[in-house]
Amino acid sequence: MKNLRKIVGGTLLAMTVIATSASAITEVPNGSVILGSKSYSLDYVNDPRNEAEISEAFAAANFKIYVRLFSGEYVDNATEQPVSASLIKPTTYKDSTGEKAIDGSGSTTEELEVISIE
């Protein structure tokens, strides 16, 4: 019975960690556009319904656009030259499902205190 409680408790803990990290990602996904501190999926940027938002972000970014290619490489959109990922620090990512925080840590888990699994 103790083993069953540990398995159930462990499963519940894992599900809690997954649920709490669903609104954060660790890095900009491949195939994204970066405008200052904001990043967007290509689909989101190309949707005419988002034109005003994208135009505003573009102006706020001093008209500088970076793209994360599907290969994972970052490029300056104007020069098409590679750019170091360390220079690109967006804090949010937005696609058709909504906006997510980018924590940049490489981990989406949060520290949780386990009181008891018995």
Q: What is the pLDDT of residues 15-63, one digit of tens each?
A: 444 444 446 788 899 999 999 999 999 999 999 999 999 999 999 999 9
Please give the pLDDT value at position 103: 77
- The string of pLDDT tens digits covering residues 91-116 is 999 999 999 998 764 443 344 455 65
Q: First CA to last CA across the chain, in angstroms?
A: 10
The residues pairing with 93 across neighbouring beta strands, listed in sequence order, are: 39, 100
The residue type found at 90 is P
